[in-house]
Copies of this chain bind each other. A is one copy, B any other.
Amino acid sequence: MILTVTLNTALDITYRTPVLVPHATHRVSEVVERPGGKGLNVARVLSALGHRTVVTGFAGGRTGDVLRELLAQCGDGRTGPSRSSMTSSTRPVDALVPIAGSTRRTIAVVDEATGDTTQLNEPGPTVSPAEWSAFLSVYDRLLTGADAVALCGSLPPGIHVGAYAELIRRARGAGVPVLLDTSGEPLRRGVAARPDLVKPNAEELARLTGSREPLRAARDARRRGAHSVVASLGADGVLAATPDGIWQATPPAPAKGNPTGAGDSAVAGLLSGLVERLPWPARLSRAVALSTATVLAPAAGEFDAEAYEDLLPRIAVTEHQAA
């Protein structure tokens, strides 16, 4: 089983409108709701790949209720690959911890003409110390059955900035490989706790290390404590700095589409490759094929299963000479 942690889950709401005009009134033509937060997206892709997944983190209030209902229906009558490939047996298992506060909403306003998206993210509910300790005992229990764990996304109000570092130490103590995908100070503190893998994008990596040169920055992130670093470089694919070597994996062509969730699909590719003990080049090919197939999918955050199968053998993986 693969465990994903989403401390700041969200009810993702997508609106479509011809074009967003500041200070004007818009009648939105379409409303789509889906369970959101990076770890939930990762689990959905892992499930579509046939992996057993458990999601934990926090959910509360009416929006939390809606999120859990949608999570229980994952793959039922949805567009995208999940409908065909996600069965109840591979659907993410809900181990979210209830809280008094209301799960946040995120609003994505998509311009129909261009596909450009304007994002409005609520900050999320304040988590109490009692709710945090309740989560920690659930987390420790789930670790005992986990082949790997992913810690994903931002921290809600009330959670101390060293929270991911604490969760990494507990995973390492339980002997469970741990991936961290976050940004800012939580990433900095987390890296120092020596996670097995971090997956920053170029911007997050530059903020962590001060260097905009990906290879130098990735190596620096390893020196700071990350066992391996896979930096997602958008259309340039990913750059991996690992104890076994340094690779870059690139898609055959830059994909045009909605990049929402592409990073989460890459995380799912890396995690699934890790538990399947694939060699690094195969893990990276899967990560890039999945993230590219996500950009190509019509529905934000879904991946196009056919495009994935087509892309997988066509990802170029080149090994760098370690300097």
Contact = CB atoms under 8 A, between A and B. Distances in A.
Given A62-B62, A66-B62, A107-B107, A25 B122 contact: no
A192 B192 CA distance: 73
Most chain B CB inside 10 Å of its own CB: which residue of A20, A24, A120 = A120
A175 to B, nearest CB: 36
A17 interface: yes
A23 B117 contact: yes
A123 B29 CA distance: 7
Contacts of A118: 20-24, 26
A116 interface: yes
B119 A28 contact: no
Nearest to A17: B120
Contacts of A20: 22-23, 118
B62 A119 contact: no
A137 to B, nearest CB: 29
Contact of A121 (B26, B107, B116): B26
B26 A119 contact: yes
Contact of A119 (B24, B29, B66, B123): B24
Interface residues on A, range: 20 to 34
Interface string A82-123: 000000000000000000000000010101000011111111
A117 to B, nearest CB: 7
Interface string A52-74: 00000000001101100000000
Contacts of A66: 62
Nearest to A107: B107
A31 interface: yes
B23 A123 contact: no
Nearest to A25: B119
Contacts of A63: 62
A26 B31 CA distance: 19
A256 interface: no
B116 A28 contact: no
Contacts of A111: 22-23
Nearest to A24: B118
Interface in A10-33: 15, 17, 20-29, 31
Nearest to A61: B66
29 contacts: A20-B22, A20-B23, A21-B22, A21-B118, A22-B22, A22-B111, A22-B116, A22-B118, A23-B116, A23-B117, A24-B118, A24-B119, A25-B119, A25-B121, A26-B118, A26-B119, A26-B121, A27-B123, A28-B120, A28-B122, A28-B123, A29-B123, A31-B122, A31-B123, A62-B62, A62-B63, A62-B65, A107-B107, A109-B120
Interface of A: 15, 17, 20-29, 31, 62-63, 65-66, 107, 109, 111, 116-123
